[in-house]
Structure 1
């Protein structure tokens, strides 16, 4: 079974490329998925040079200048350049190299160019970290960025955040329910509204309804309870809002299609990661009941449509329960097609896996459900004794 370990550029810089690759090779995996382009973060790094690592927005390599010539948006230079000769170092150990690329989460670009970020139903651009996939400049940037990573000589470009994202405030003392949060996270920028209008949606009515409902909760109305489903959302916010939410899939599908085609033209392949699994289970490994494949529409992801356009998919199987991992993988395969490569991404330790046995069970479940690969997230975030669970999990998965 194919497998890979996710690695940050800071891991390679801090511990040294040779040392990190030697460790990863010992786990018995087939490849390394390196963070070529990442977003800002503050992470606990148990075996890094510093036990607390500040990550910056940026590309951890020098992109070909001609790809971004004349474009308004260009990659922010990363603070760490540890990818030089990484392809050769991996090849010397028989390891594949995958280029992990975060596309539309970039606070630096968003702050410099606020108009390319999402705009909520009140007309505010409060989330400057989230670039809108409907904006033409963002779409051009995404295609060029994908080409730049492909030209590193990677075996695949692993696309993260190539879709809409939910609103994620650091602090909120307003009890927004799941449906209110969903409505608050919808983008109503000019480009999103125009695309929806072209598809026959009354975008202004949808915006007004979202502002009325969310504004009411801000003013003290009780929040709606229960998971977000199309039926519940229709009853709560009306058919025009649901139609507006559905229209977002056209934006994402066409963007992913353009990126996938560009990567293929560079002699590479795209692995599309839908973040729904992380949205549902990131904090505690206890995802809400709806399967990730069934709820992907909430991020504008139409898996059935993408199954005809993208060769490979990463499933963020962030769950403690092995049966849930298997169910999520199976649902993805039914959506994208049995002939597509599906890679299950597992966290080998906290909060998902409290033992080797639990990780083994999840790897087995992913394989039994049809996953062609199991990947592990992420080297620099996990203590070495936890990473040492990987070989047994791979052996169990065959």
Structure 2
């Protein structure tokens, strides 16, 4: 199975041994961040630093001024964590080490955008804004994300891209000093807390003959037992759980509308990337087969997305391979890419010691590629386990 490791530019720039070390793991490809959200990342082997703080979402290359001049919103340049063309410098080193380089582009996840342009954010049923979550139903947001996808994906020398957060983002967010775990939220409650009631979404509900005030009131009423401590009122998850909370009619309105909005964004983003890319450029989406799920792995309709993109990258850590892969394998063609993504950082819940077994299981379920998260964050011991696993798979 072809394997690719996720990498940040700051893992490579300034470390003359990084590219060879990553190639030495036995991967054939790297998925290198070109546009990324704010983060605090460990760099355990870098000769000049140990912690990199990316203070806000940014592009990690010089943005094209002819594209963005006079526009708002527009991409933010990175600070000293990835100065200049950090992406390009890292990509060149990795390519020289014999690795194929694909871009890693984060779209609908941008806290600075929400802070500086609050009207772009998801607004929940209580009127609270989620500044990290741009509302993908807003035309201006979609135009920004589609243009960002095209520019950040098609960097010089890149042979493909992976689009993360290409869909709805919601409540769940690894936020600074996050303190929302005091009340457990089941899957259906997470969905209700991720519904958007910004002006664009309220208009969208009204277009479907649904009063947005009535819908918001139904959401707040349904969540009352949750705040009292019942994480799964009604005792169901998925669509059935949502229907139990707000009724089949309102559940259908939200699921159908949000699904169509996400599909529109995904189609436009993929089309824009392909229009800007050379022939043979591969376009994958980080995805989840449950269309109502939000976040980095956006919920999609498997049949639809495999008809739009070249394939998907699916989170398979912790025994999730069957749940993730099976719905997509049912719609795969011989050219479809189904990449099983495994966390290989022990400290982040990964299990690099079982990677060979996990990869074999994923292959039996239809996966034809591996993604390894994350070559820059992992310890030396974790990387040795990865190297051994990939050697055994050859």
What TM-score does the superposition give when structure 2 sets the normalisation length?
Answer: 0.86
Structure 1 151/217 Cα, relative in aligned 2: closer, same or farther at 3 Å? Answer: closer
Structure 1 CA distance for aligned equivalents of residues 185 and 31 of structure 2: 36
Structure 2 CA distance for aligned equivalents of residues 176 and 115 of structure 1: 26
The SS at the match of 2:338 is strand
Structure 1 140/397 Cα, relative in aligned 2: closer, same or farther at 3 Å? Answer: same
Instruction: Tell me the residue number matched to 1:305.
Output: 304
Offset, 1:366: 1.7
Structure 2 CA distance for aligned equivalents of residues 391 and 31 of structure 1: 14
Deviation per residue, 1:353-396 (Å, 9 max, x gap)? 4453x111011112222222111111221102211222332234
- Indicate if the aligned counterparts of 1:306 and 1:336 stay in contact, CA closer than 8 A: no
1:210-359 to 2 correspondences below 5 Å: 210-215=219-224, 217-218=226-227, 220=228, 222-225=230-233, 226=235, 228-243=237-252, 244-267=254-277, 268-274=281-287, 276=288, 293=289, 295-299=290-294, 300-319=299-318, 321=319, 324-335=320-331, 339-350=335-346, 351-354=348-351, 356=353, 358-359=354-355
Deviation per residue, 1:246-292 (Å, 9 max, x gap)? 32011110111001001111123321002x4xxxxxxxxxxxxxxxx
Offset, 1:88: 3.6
Structure 1 CA distance for aligned equivalents of residues 184 and 357 of structure 2: 37
Instruction: Tell me the residue number matched to 2:128.
Output: 124
Offset, 1:100: 0.6
Instruction: Tell me the residue number matched to 2:167.
Output: 163
- Corresponding position: 1:5 with 2:15: no
Structure 1 64/129 Cα, relative in aligned 2: closer, same or farther at 3 Å? Answer: same
Structure 1 CA distance for aligned equivalents of residues 171 and 312 of structure 2: 24
The SS at the match of 1:261 is helix
Structure 2 CA distance for aligned equivalents of residues 346 and 146 of structure 1: 24
Structure 1 227/71 Cα, relative in aligned 2: closer, same or farther at 3 Å? Answer: farther
The SS at the match of 2:293 is helix
Structure 1 227/391 Cα, relative in aligned 2: closer, same or farther at 3 Å? Answer: farther
Structure 1 202/99 Cα, relative in aligned 2: closer, same or farther at 3 Å? Answer: same
Aligned residues: CA RMSD: 2.3
- Corresponding position: 1:148 with 2:176: no
The SS at the match of 1:118 is strand
- Indicate if the aligned counterparts of 1:6 and 1:33 stay in contact, CA closer than 8 A: yes
What TM-score does the superposition give when structure 1 sets the normalisation length?
Answer: 0.86
Structure 2, unmatched stretches of 5+, are none
